[in-house]
Amino acid sequence: MQGKDVDVTGTRVGIFFGTLAVVWILAIIPACDVEPRKSDAELGLNPQQSAGRKIYDSQCDRCHEPYSSRGKKGPSLKGVFQHKYLSLSGLPANDDRVTDIVRLGRNEMPGYSQTLNSQDVQDLLAYLHTL
């Protein structure tokens, strides 16, 4: 073929990066198990659970993932009351133990006894039961 230069290198680079992008996307998709945020109404939350969700958002969400099985700094709280025992401590997964942890803290988690009053803790527990 005279008179026509074919840029084989550019084509190979384009194919390489295109393939790399597809592989990266396929690798990331299974790791994204976080559900899109739903409204309180979509979740069917009652007023107490909704109040607990606001507390969760302001105090807990920075370290604990609510709707994913993967944690952030702390363990995920998805299904926390659906198990017999808490994932890290092995303590019973019940209101009394979770209240103690929220109020007093545990390991790297700070206690919230100076931040949350008794009603706040009850609201938070009501919300945690929905996860």
* Burial class for 77, CB neighbours closer than 10 Å (0-12, 13-18, 19+): buried
Whole-prediction pTM value? 0.69
Domain range list for the chain? 45-128
Angle CA 82–87–91, to nearest 5? 85
Q: What pLDDT, in 10s, does the model give residues 32-82? A: 555 677 888 988 999 999 999 999 999 998 888 777 666 578 888 888 899
**What residues pair up with 109 in beta bridges, in sequence order?**
106
Alpha-carbon gap, residue 10 to 15, rounded angstroms: 9
Task: Give me the CATH code for the 45-128 domain, please.
Answer: 1.10.760.10
Q: Supply the pLDDT for residue 112.
A: 95
**Which uninterrupted H or E stretch holds 24?**
helix 8-28
Q: What pLDDT, in 10s, does the model give residues 81-93? A: 998 998 888 889 9
Q: Supply the pLDDT for residue 19.
A: 65
In our burial notation (b when 16+ CB lie closer than 10 A, e otherwise), range 85-98 reads: ebeeeeeebeeeeb
Q: Supply the pLDDT for residue 45.
A: 94
